[in-house]
Structure 1
Amino acid sequence: MTSSGLRAAAALLLLCAATFAAAAELSDKLRDDSELSQSTAKSFRRLMPVRFYSQVEQNPIANATLTLRSCTIFVPTNEAFQRYKGSIHVLYHITTAAFSKEQLPKSVSSDMDGNPPLYITKNRNGDIYVNNARIIPSLSVEMTNREGKRQVMHIIDEVLQPLSVQKNAKDNINNPDAMQFLQMAEQLELNDFHLRTYRSQVTLAKKESVYQSPGAHTFLIPIDESFKLSARSGLVDAKVIDGHVIPNTVIFTAASQHDDPKTSAAFEDLLKVTVSFFKQKDGKMYVKSNTIVGDAKHREGVVLAEIVKANIPVQNGVVHLIHRPLMIIDTTVTDFLKSFKENGENGALRKFYEVIMDNGGEVLDDITNLSEVTILAPSNDAWNASLIENLLRNRKKMREILNMHIIRDRLNVDKIRQKNANMIAQVPTVNNNTFLYFNVKGEGTDAVITVEGGGVNATIIQADVAQTNGYVHIIDRVLGVPHTTVLGKLESDPMMSDTYKMGQFSHFNDQLNNTQRRFTYFVPRDKGWQKTELDYPSAHKKLFMPDFSYHSKSILERHLAIADHVFTMKDLVQYSEQAGNVVLPTFRDSLQLRVEEEAGRYVIIWNYKKINVYRPDVECTNGIIHVIDYPLLEEKDVVVSGGSYLTESSICIILANLIMITVAKILN
């Protein structure tokens, strides 16, 4: 070797030595950090090199960056590596500028070929995300290398995944925008999903500019399989395409605020469409469009779509592939439920459909025969309760329970609000003589809508899923399968709050949690007690005063039958027809009444008074409640002999005085 060659070799060796020495400053952090170590040793002294560090070592560009330049490096944890099955793109985790957590802008350019951006999300909770990965705040490190360059390392909980290209791709695809993504979809790794149909509709509607728009947006793209219905693709017009784009906002699923509506590009004077994300407990992510203001071509209502491939970064935002187009309402309620079987669509209600079919499928036929219908559909999680599992084999009972979830009307949230304007809305179901009771708490997007049926209070967790012949509302419990005691029901039901309060200060409620007894409780609803205030103002006032708890307890005892079984309204009607007055055992003596059925409603005849039954047969785990329109009460019930009112405290004072007088006489 010549002397010049020797000098060049020596210089190269020196450069390599310097490179490794400088790279070691940040690299040592990667190697020695206990959070990142893959060593199984318990001691920090026996740490093994981490997988990410080995990836950095093998990449000359990454090594050069650590040696010579400022940078921010996003390092996944060991657990993130263990979960991730794909190829690691080290340079996609590095950006050639140093940013602390506070300094991170909305996007930064990665060091990967084409410099595809990394998107930064800072949410309301103070969490910071890089694409779909969360920065673990306590593990960030900042230092200066030997060149005096500032470098920052952030630890993240996911491996960053750039747009993946197939091995045999013909085109050089480095950093495409959303339109280029659509055009080159066949060359990308998309889990065998195809996008030809939607792409052709975008071209036909001349909406390419929406997907080419610079900036940072969220694009929702339906896969080809979602267009199996032959006429569906023709419904994808320019407005529908706009409804699949959230402009100027990048939403990755892990960073998304659930049920936080964002205005879509289809939000204008005559058409208003919002889009939001939400996650099921099984981990599946969904997106929904809500057409708040519709027009002749675009009906109002919610459309749900499962995200089948999420978080695909592109030059101008992020793409999510969805299992069906948004905004398009082109299926009946029956077709919507059947779709749970086909290709696993709309998994959020898969269990509800399975229960219907396991019960013979007749319920689905009944739904098909209704021209207008609303379904209160329990979520998958709602069916996991042990009490429900015990009932699944009882086909007759399950048929009644399923029918309790079906309403012969097109009932959306606006209608529920109208019905609930002055009172709790009462709506009949297809189950004979069974009603549902809706209650709205709060206003606007913060409103919570509950529905009670058969003793169960459920909350609507997804409202107004629109179909051509009605609506589906997803609820969090199965109606008609009680899960609380008589006391629990009294405590939670807004219609029974006065009876609950009266029973609390008189300690009458103490017995109502006893699961060894079977109670039949005739509970006056709040409006019933309000009527007594007009009829017997003095008596009503005393009943709600703690000092008169003796009288309150005595009145409530009259309303509570205690036996080894419960008495349904049908039972009481049958007994009344056979024997006239029915005698029910109560705590002190008995309750005599008669029950008649009039035009599908029940009426109690007590002491020559007719009292309507507002809600019959509210089942509980230790009994049954019948909500009545008026208490079993007369004014004399709270009047002692001589027409004077005596409180318990007054009685105690009188007795104490008598004892003192007696003792004084004895002493004298």
Structure 2
Amino acid sequence: MSEFYDLLERNPVAMSNLNLRPLTLFAPTNQAFQKYTGTAHVQYHMSTTATTLEHLGKVITSDFDGNPPLYITKRRKNNQDYIWVNNALVIRSRSNVQMQNQQGKKQVLHVIDDVLTPLTITQSSSLDVFNPDAFQFLTHADSLDIGGHRIRSYRQKVISNKKESVYQANGWHTFFIPVEEGFKPHPRPDMIDKKVIDGHIISDKVVFTASAPTEEPFETLAFDDNIKVTISFFTQGEGKTLKTYVKSNTVVGDSKHSTGVVMAEIVRANIPVRNGIIHLIHRPLMIVDTTVMQFLEEKEDGPLFRFYETIMDFGGEFMQKVNSMKDVTLFAPSNEAWNDPNLLNIIRNKEKMKEILNLHIVRDRLNTERMRQTNPNVITQFPTLAYRKNLYFNVLSSRQGNHTITVEGGGVNATLIQADIAQTNGYVHIIDRVLGVPYSTVLDKLKTDPMLNSSFLMGLHSGFNSQLNDTTRRFTYFVPRDWAWQQTEIEFPSTHKKLFMPEFSYHARAVLERHLVIADKVFTMADLRSMGPDYIVLPTARDSLQVKVKEEEKHTTSDPDRAGYSIYWNHRNIHIFRPDVECTNGIIHVIDHPFLIESDVQVTGGISHLKSTESILIASTLMAFIAKLFV
């Protein structure tokens, strides 16, 4: 703490306080000063009352000009208790140091990880205002040191809507104020009314960015019987690229206020005022007035700038296509998603990249509420702009009642990390992976896919799965989904039961081997269809698979370009629920019925065996093994 001590020694008022008065001193570490670029004010780090951590309330008065408050936040997370003073974390192991000065006055030292920054006036200003409230901040913002940002348009809206009182209110609140640049384009300013202003205020809570819980919604003043708006915080990036965003979620709207999420970057955070904290944001919340394309174009260093750059590099016509749609949902990979090393080779292939971009678009308005409503027990699917490729959605619910939604496309499972960002022509959902660029082996895909649990467990218990991680081989695996096994349990209850019993694991392995094609290449459904209209024979891990591939119209859309597939096997027509799930060492086709007949597992005289042809195979294998012993 030598840098802070040097500042103390050069400040006569601070030194006098140390010598003569009781004190609480919040001392930043040297590391805190190394990352700090502003002017440090020593007296803002001290209070003339001695207070231990246990006795810190919500506010402690500083000794800076006007005695502005220091705000205390206490939170428990991961079974640990944390304390922040403004935006600085208290380092508990080095705090609560109690002593007395020469006058016998009690003093307490707390060590913090950041330099505390008060609100000050600019050097050129003659303004004589100390410790302003939020409305005084709005009134005198041009004279305050807030990084050159201007907020005149928003101030005019507050005054014209007669909302001065909410910014003058006693207590401690969190205010979000859009800067001047956020009032473009016209007619955005005309959409700011009393409810929108209320939607920029969290009442009776002071929320600094460092202590803000991620994705926890706070009710705003615009949360009543007629309309319900919440605000939450989230961050993207790390280190110097770290950005903090807020988003308003209009859970219940009305004719003037659309439901959905509006996102804004905090461009100047943690400005303390007498009645709370102010965050300056790059655009107003709650207002839905941009298209999907305009949202992507809005901020050149925003949360989706790498996706936008990719679109402009590989698919300019893709953007025009999106902009022409009246109803569109975009699943946009985050900036971090583009760091995936699997993209390095694919990103050079322009045609492949165009297909990948198309995989991220659904020609429909699809928000999470609709996903949950259409997905109570099964995975739902929607067609994309990529030829014959769908997106598949799964809603995972925790015991705490939280919902996580995953989307799969082209073999990639991604999580919606920012959902329901509302636009005039649809929605944007930010996801954590680029769809269509596989990163999992066939085995990893089986492990993680929520609709393939039964096939995975059957293969695990029978020892079948171990081969599926081999990256030197190419697999085409027809995998029955869980629903298919449930239907089989109804159709063949005894056979189904035995397949999942440990003592019948060999039979389970033999059945799965019938589903696994091993060759020097993988076979998409289009490949299989092109091999002929009649039966084709595929080499499997067991012997061979004889099937006929047919195209069929999917029930999810009337578009003839969206033809699906089915396989005719053993007098049974089996629908391909999800074709062409790509993996790094193969491809999976998810099917609606296993290649299974009731006689596949039989029990005679207490000994289980397969049908006669399989018994011959076993005998041949044993004979070959015995012959080797005598060589």
Q: Normalising by the residue count of structure 1, what TM-score does the alignment of the two structures yield?
A: 0.87
- 1:409 alignment partner in structure 2: 364
Q: Distance in 2 between the 1:384 and 1:179 partners? A: 44
2:267 is matched with 308
Matching of residue 291 in structure 1 with residue 246 in structure 2:
no
Match of 1:601 among 540, 545, 564: 564
When Rg is computed on C-alpha atoms for both structures, the one with the higher figure is 1
Q: What residue is the counterpart of 1:100 in the other structure?
A: 52
- Name the counterpart of 1:127: 82
1:353 to 291, 308, 314: 308
Kept in 2, the 8 Å contact 1:378–1:475? The answer is: yes
Residue 611 of structure 1: aligned partner: 574
Aligned equivalent of 2:353, options 390, 398, 408: 398
Higher helix fraction: Structure 1 or Structure 2?
Answer: 1
Per the TM alignment, residue 645 of structure 1 is displaced from its structure 2 partner at its CA by: 5.1
CA–CA distance in 2 between the matches of 1:112 and 1:525?
66
Once residues 60 and 574 of structure 2 are traced to their aligned partners in structure 1, the CA distance between those partners, rounded to angstroms, is: 71
The answer as to whether partners of 1:576 and 1:596 remain within 8 angstroms in 2 is no
Distance 1:535 1:360, change over 3 A: closer
Task: Give the match for residue 171 of structure 1.
Answer: 127
CA RMSD, 1 decimal: 1.5
Aligned to 1:377: 332
What is the identity, as a one-letter code, of the residue corresponding to 1:287? V
- Counterparts of 1:462-473 in structure 2, within 5 Å, are 462-473=418-429
Aligned partner letter, 1:411:
L
| Residue number in structure 2 paired with 1:63 | 15
- Alignment partner of 2:590 out of 608, 616, 627: 627
- What is the CA-CA distance between 1:607 and the residue it aligns to? 1.5
For 2:483 and 2:35, how far apart are their aligned partners in 1?
Answer: 58
Distance 2:317 2:44 in 1: 55
Report the 3-state secondary structure (helix = DSSP H, G, I; strand = E; otherwise coil) of the residue aligned with 2:451: helix
Q: Residue 27 of structure 2 aligns to a residue in which SS? A: strand
1:362-404 C-alpha deviation (Å, 9 max, x unpaired)? 1111111211011111101111111112211111111111111
Instruction: Indicate the larger mover: 362-371 or 482-491.
Output: 362-371
CA distance in 2, matches of 1:630, 1:452: 21
C-alpha distance in 2, partners of 1:204/1:352? 39
1:610-642, Cα deviation, whole Å (9 max, x unpaired): 1000000000010000000000111111126x6
Structure 2 counterpart of 1:22: none
Aligned counterpart, 1:636: 599
Give 1:30's aligned residue: none
> Percent of pairs identical after alignment?
56
1:225 maps to 2:181: yes
Which residue of structure 2 aligns with residue 76 of structure 1?
A: 28
The 3-state SS of whatever aligns with 2:529 is helix
Matched, 1:213 2:169: yes
Spell out the pairing of 1:308-347 with structure 2 (5 A cutoff): 308-341=267-300, 344=301, 347=302
Q: How does 1:409-488 map to 2 (within 5 A)?
A: 409-442=364-397, 446-488=402-444
State the one-letter code of the partner of 2:338: W
Change (3 A) 1:470 1:445: farther
Match of 1:191 in 2: 147
Q: CA–CA distance in 1 between the matches of 2:26 and 2:344?
A: 47
Match of 1:502 among 458, 463, 466: 458
Query: Deviating runs (4+, > 4 A) in structure 1?
Result: 642-645
Q: Are 2:70 and 1:114 aligned? A: no
Match among 471, 494, 500 for residue 538 of structure 1:
494
Q: d(CA) in 2 for partners of 1:374 and 1:432?
A: 17
Offset, 1:550: 1.1
If each structure's strand is expressed as a fraction of its own residues, which one has the higher value? 2
1:281 Cα offset (Å): 2.5
CA contact (8 A) 2:537 2:544 kept: yes
CA contact (8 A) 1:638 1:645 kept: no
Residue 521 of structure 1 pairs with residue 477 of structure 2: yes
State which drifts further: 556-565 or 165-174: 165-174
Whether the 8 Å contact between 1:121 and 1:130 is mirrored in structure 2 is yes
The one-letter amino acid of 1:587's match is A
Listed one character per residue, the Cα deviations across residues 572-616 of structure 1 (whole Å, up to 9, x for unaligned) are: 000023xx2111111232111111111201010112211000000
Aligned pair count reads: 595
Alpha-carbon distance in structure 1 between the residues aligned to 2:255 and 2:487 = 48
Change (3 A) 1:205 1:318: same
SS at match of 1:256: coil
CA distance in 2, matches of 1:269, 1:209: 21
Shift of 1:300: 0.4
Matched residue type, 1:270: N
SS in 2 for 1:356: helix
- AA partner of residue 9 (structure 2): E
